[in-house]
Amino acid sequence: MTRTAGTRRTSSAGTGKQLLRLATAGSVDDGKSTLIGRLLLDSKLLLQDTLEALHRNGKNGAPDLASITDGLRAEREQGITIDVAYRYFTTPRRSFIIADTPGHERYTRNMVTGASTAELAVILIDARHGIVEQSRRHACLSALLGIRHMVAAVNKMDLVSWDEARFLEIEGQFLALAERLGVPDARAFPISALDGDNVVEPGAAGWYHGPPLLAHLEAIDVASDRSGGPLRMPVQWVIRPEDGARGERRYAGQVAGGTLRPGDEVVVLPAGSRTTVTAVETVDGPLESASSPDSVSVRLADDLDVGRGDILCGPDDLPVSGRQIQATVCWMSEAPLRAGEHVALKHTTRTVRAAVESIDALLDVTTLIDGAAPDAIGLNDIARLTLRTAAPVVADPYSENRTTGAFILIDEDSNDTVGAGMVRAVREGGRPPEHSPGVTWHESGLERDHRWDSLGTRGATVWLTGLPASGKSTVAAQLERILVEDGHPAYFLDGDNLRHGLSGDLAFSPADRTENIRRVAHVARLMADAGMVAIASLVSPAHHDRALARELHEAAGLPFLEVYVDTPVEVAERRDPKGLYARARAGKLEDFTGVSAPYEVPQRPDVVVHGAEEVVRDSAERVRAALERIWFPGG
Amino acid sequence: MSASDHLHALESEAVHVFREVAAELERPVLLFSGGKDSIVLLRLAEKAFRPGRFPFPVLHVDTGHNFPEVLEYRDRRVREIGERLIVAKVEDSIAAGRAREEWDPGRPGTSRNRLQTVTLLDAIEQGRFDAAFGGARRDEERARAKERIFSFRDDFGQWDPRAQRPELWNLYNGRIRRGEHVRVFPISNWTELDVWHYIQQERLELPSIYFAHEREVFEHDGMLYARSEWVEPSSQTFTESVRYRTVGDMTITGAVRSAALAVADVITEIAATRVTERGETRADDRTSEAAMEDRKRQGYF
């Protein structure tokens, strides 16, 4: 981070040391834990009480180095490492974070997790056994996760009498493997972790003239891996000035690639609007520039609608925005994944719903070669998938950016993280296209403000969502009445009425509901643009469908008000004017929201109406007041 | 990109975590003890949200056995930054019959540590908080080394180390069910020395007990305890120049002999020390090897 003159802090601040995040994998048999213990011990990072505990656990007076890394009681009892553990050590030249993971196949997901943030991988190789399946797997996963620096720690050299030929043989195989995996920087070290040879201090072999392992870890340059590439900054949070004071909004986020400077032109995706950066700041003052991994805030020249989930990008090299994602996914759940299933997908700061369109291949994790496409993938499988998302995702290939190319998959029922994904390609598609082929949007030549001012009106869409029989339509009809009687054009788009004609071809499956909502959202947008208040009343049970309706309006610069009619299901069921709940309970109605299909409660509705206890007129008045606050913010 | 030092990388990571929680959870709260780690948290929250307000209040669980210097500091600091402070008192939990004092009050090493968990969980439930920021670090203890930055608690506030969500890249999954909450540790990857270097870099003020001062102490079980209204000295007291490495209850927090009057002196002493922070000065963690794991499972921080 470069600070502007005058705000630069004195050089006594900070330690000036660089951070290196490294991943290890392997079992106690490889001596992985012993190696970590040795690094900590010889770099004097183990403190007295920890050492005493090691000696208590050790045999014949020698410290049990391996026990340093077994954190949980179950691990100590079973003598194995189960989970990812993070270790910290620092030398006069560098600070290290070690992500320490078990090496067995059934812990592939832990290895993937540990490797996801690492810049360097240490592959443990037992000199007696050479490169075995486990070392191959770890090298492959590290390469897959985009780690550019790899080190082979050829351990237990004392058990092969420090045989140079044996080391050279393993080194040759390892370098060939790294080359095939496309790892640009690979190197092998002969060591004995148990005796401490060539780990921190030089070792017993007269024929080895290279540095000890630690010296290499201290010297390696990883800073250049992070910088470079085009600008990417996912917006996390909008900082608004305190207490309603007027002032510019700041868009906060962590730079994920490239360099951000005041005066630079940026493109806000997915909207595509262009603007100029007027300031890059932190609490400590303005910056001349920021790059990965700086967390900063940004001010923009134009008053655009920018929010969480948007990405600020350099204008020349834009990521692809689309709904079809081809990705490599590591599956982390006991429950298998099949084509057609739905998950939530979190990518940078945006979460969208996704369906598995197809499973395209299963990867062999010891070769990274594509195998046949299975019907389902299970725990620890790594597969090529095609995903279709409910809203566009703006992503880079993972090979180009480890932040904007990565995503996690979340099970919507259990809320667990069930998959880790790396983007290979993004395509538009998987959805009805934005427009028919060969047509372009016709601008009428009449500016919206001019239209609205001339007609003395304002447009907006009010979107009422809630369970069937929650009272949405009653509130909608009341709102329509009070607006129209005040001389404000408004029109009630009733869910049932829309399913005559416009959506008459659709049923109630999730896909059909999504399509219905898409159509209604487009109709509402046109009406709002014309200067009317479109009042849509739809159950619209899924977050992603409502989000789509909102995005459509926000992209067009039109107000969109989500009103959640919060009526308990017992109350709605008691009302049941159309006898629908009764039919659903009797099993005669499939996919009935509240009974046999889920309703996703809005996380941040603009207005909440209490359908069970509030007078309808009061509810409608509150919605109107909210509309007026949007149209006339100061008034 | 200039060569960014590791403190800067850790700061950026923590600020990112703060903003993710604010954006993805409904009602976060920041746990503030007046200890050095939570003082760093408060500074990081400023980095994440200023010039806006914090999108959460600050919560202190007051055991009633705190150092008066720390309480004074707490009130002043929260006033300075202009945010809202909630104080949840263990006394109130005891009075309400929700918690009972353990063994012999007055004996050094006896603590309200477990009681604190009751008060904390009650405060989380009352405030309907769904996320609580804490200053725990993975270098503190072996069980912590495996805890996630987003650490899930069921509706009894319990941690299950075998059922943790994988945490990849900087993509945190904050989804929870009603009644559950998540403990968030933005400085998970910091070490004790990192915290001190950051305090120095940011010129953060600390409660005076972190620096050498004369205090009436006595030795018990190899640790130095302060004489206070809650602790009955178990041996002859004497006056010593001491400072504290951690801030907990006066009944369980041991002092270390020290001459360090400024942050730089403390850093020099810590860099030379041969005992871990918790092993040296916290009786609660010396009880058994799995002490921390057990308490965490029950809902402790």
Q: Which pairing describes strands B28-31 and B131-133: parallel, antiparallel, or unpaired?
A: parallel
Tens digit of each residue's pLDDT (9 = 90 or more) over A476-485? 999 999 999 9
- Is residue A61 pLDDT above 60, yes or no? no
Same structural domain, A485 and A612:
yes
Among A375, A398, A427, give the residue marking a domain's end.
Answer: A427
- A388 and A303 share one domain: no
Predicted local confidence at residue B169, as pLDDT = 95
B chain contacts of residue A236, beta-carbon cutoff 8 Å: 16, 19-20, 23
Mutation for testing the B interface, residue in A52, A221, A295 having most B CBs under 10 Å: A295
Contact B276 A16 (CB under 8 A): no
pLDDT of residue A102: 79
How far away is chain A from the Cα of B165, in angstroms, using its nearest Cα?
6
pLDDT band, residue A6 (cuts 50/70/90): very low
Contacts of B289 in chain A (CB under 8 A): 53, 76
Q: What is the largest CA-CA distance in chain B?
A: 58
The stretch A500-525 carries a mean pLDDT of 85
Whether B20 has its CB under 8 Å from any CB of chain A: the answer is yes
The pLDDT assigned to A195 comes to 86
**Helices within A19-69 (DSSP H only):** 32-42, 48-57
Query: Ranked by mean pLDDT, which of B146-155, B170-179, B215-224 comes out on top?
Result: B170-179
The secondary structure of chain B, three-state, reads: CCCCCHHHHHHHHHHHHHHHHHHHCCCEEEECCCCHHHHHHHHHHHHHHCCCCCCCCEEEEECCCCCHHHHHHHHHHHHHHCCCEEEEEHHHHHHCCCCCCCCCCCCCCCCCHHHHHHHHHHHHHHCCCCEEECCCCHHHCCCHHHCCCEEEECCCCCCCHHHCCCCECCECCCCCCCCCEEEECCCCCCCHHHHHHHHHHHCCCCCHHHCCEEEEEEEECCEEEECECCECCCCCCEEEEEEECCCCCCCCECEEECCCCCHHHHHHHHHHCCCCHHHHHEHHHCCCCCHHHHHHHCCCC
Residue A514 contacts residue A355 (beta carbons within 8 Å)? no
B50–chain A Cβ distance below 8 A for any pair: yes
Q: How confident is the model at residue A333 (pLDDT cuts 50, 70, 90)?
A: very high
- The CATH code of the domain that includes A395 is 2.40.30.10
Same domain membership, residue A616 and residue A504: yes
Q: What is the pLDDT of residues B66-110, one digit of tens each?
A: 888 999 999 999 999 999 999 998 888 887 777 776 655 556 666
The C-alpha of B11 sits at a distance from chain A's nearest C-alpha, in angstroms, of 8
Whether residue A549 is contained in a domain is answered as: yes
Give me the pLDDT at residue A106, please: 79
Provide the chain B residues 219-258 that lie in CB contact (below 8 A) with chain A: none
Q: Which of A257-271, B44-58, B113-127 has the lowest mean pLDDT?
A: B113-127
User: What's the CA gap between B195 and B168, in Å, rounded?
Assistant: 24
A65 and A154 housed in the same domain: yes
Judged by a CB distance cut-off of 8 A, whether residue A349 touches chain B is yes
Q: Does residue A297 carry a pLDDT above 90?
A: yes
Inter-residue contact A550 to A360 (CB < 8 Å): no
Residue A59 lies in a domain: yes
Of the candidates A35, A67, A30, the one whose C-alpha atom is nearest the C-alpha of residue A51 is A67
Mean pLDDT of B135-141: 86
Q: Tell me if A8 is assigned to some domain.
A: no
Give the Cβ contact number of residue B96 at 10 Å. 11
B-chain residues near A116 (CB < 8 A): 168-169
Where residue A397 falls among pLDDT bands split at 50, 70, 90? very high
* Distance, CA of B4 to CA of A17 (rounded, Å): 8
Same domain, A519 and A371: no
**A377 interfacial to chain B (CB closer than 8 Å):** no
Tell me what percent of the residues of chain A surpass a pLDDT of 90: 51
Q: Is A286 helix (H, G, I), strand (E, B) or coil?
A: strand
Q: For chain A, what is the domain count?
A: 4
pLDDT of residue B111: 66
Q: Is A256 inside any structural domain?
A: yes
HEC sequence for A481-519: HHHHHCCCCEEEEEHHHHCCCCCCCCCCCHHHHHHHHHH
- Residue A554 sits at the vertex; the CA angle it makes with A566 and A305, to the nearest 5 degrees, is 115
Q: Which class for B241: exposed (0-12), middle (13-18), buried (19 or more C-beta within 10 A)?
A: middle
Q: Which two tokens stand for residue A344?
A: 């939530």
pLDDT value at position A2?
Answer: 47
Look over chain A and give the mean of its residue pLDDT values, rounded to a whole number: 86
Taking the Cβ of residue B37 and every Cβ of chain A, the question of whether any pair is shorter than 8 Å is answered with: no
Q: What is the CATH number of the domain that holds A154?
A: 3.40.50.300
Determine the Cα–Cα distance for residues A141 and A366; give it in Å rounded to an integer.
8
Residues of chain A in contact with residue B19, where contact means CB-CB under 8 angstroms, are 236-237, 252-253, 295
**Structure-token pair, residue A247:** 């002032």
Question: Could you tell me the residue ranges of all domains in chain B?
Answer: 6-194+289-297, 204-285
User: Can you give the pLDDT at residue A122?
Assistant: 95
CB-CB neighbors (< 8 A) of B17 in chain A = none
Do A395 and A297 share a structural domain?
A: no
Per CATH, domain B6-194+289-297 is 1.10.3210.10: no
pLDDT score recorded for residue B279: 61
Whole-angstrom CA distances from A571 to A34, A593, A598, B251 are: 63, 14, 17, 54
A542 pLDDT above the threshold of 90 = no
Predicted confidence (pLDDT) per residue in A161-187, tens digit: 999 999 999 999 999 999 999 999 999
- C-alpha to C-alpha distances, B42 to A74, B80, B155, B186, B202, nearest whole angstrom: 35, 12, 27, 11, 12
CB A174 within 8 Å of CB A186? yes
Q: Which residues of B168-177 are buried (b: 16+ CB within 10 A; e: fewer)?
A: bbbbbbbbbe
Q: Does one domain contain both A158 and A253?
A: no
* pLDDT average, residue stretch A39-47: 69
Does residue A7 carry a pLDDT above 70? no
DSSP A8: P
Distance of alpha carbon A433 from alpha carbon A435, whole angstroms: 5
Nearest CA distance, A563 vs chain B (angstrom): 18
Residues A101-143: pLDDT tens digits?
Answer: 877 777 888 899 999 999 999 999 999 999 998 889 999 999 9
Q: Tell me, yes or no, if A245 comes closer than 8 A to chain B by beta carbon.
A: no
Q: What is the ipTM of this complex?
A: 0.88
Nearest to B15 among A88, A240, A295 (CB): A295
Lowest mean pLDDT among A154-168, A614-628, B105-119: B105-119
Question: Do residues A517 and A604 both lie within one domain?
Answer: yes
> Model confidence over B218-270: pLDDT tens digits?
988 878 888 887 777 888 899 999 998 888 777 778 888 899 999 999 988 88
Is A12 part of any domain?
A: no
The CA distance from A92 to A459, in Å, is 64
Q: Residue A11's pLDDT is what?
A: 31
Is A4 domain-assigned?
no
The answer to whether the CB of A326 falls within 8 A of the CB of A40 is no
3-state secondary structure of A120: strand
Q: Render pLDDT for A75-87 as a digit per residue (tens, 0 to 9).
A: 555 555 567 888 8
Q: Which residues of A are catalytic?
A: 540
Confirm or reject contact between A91 and chain B (CB < 8 A).
Answer: no
Give the model's confidence band at A431: pLDDT under 50 very low, under 70 low, under 90 confident, else very high.
very low
Token digits of residue A425:
């390609």
For residue A216, list its beta bridge partners: none
Find the domain containing A483 and state its range: 448-631
Q: Which residue has the higher pLDDT, B296 or B264?
A: B264
Q: Do residues A407 and A361 lie in contact, with contact meaning Cβ atoms separated by under 8 Å? A: no
Angstrom distance (rounded) from CA A306 to CA B225: 55
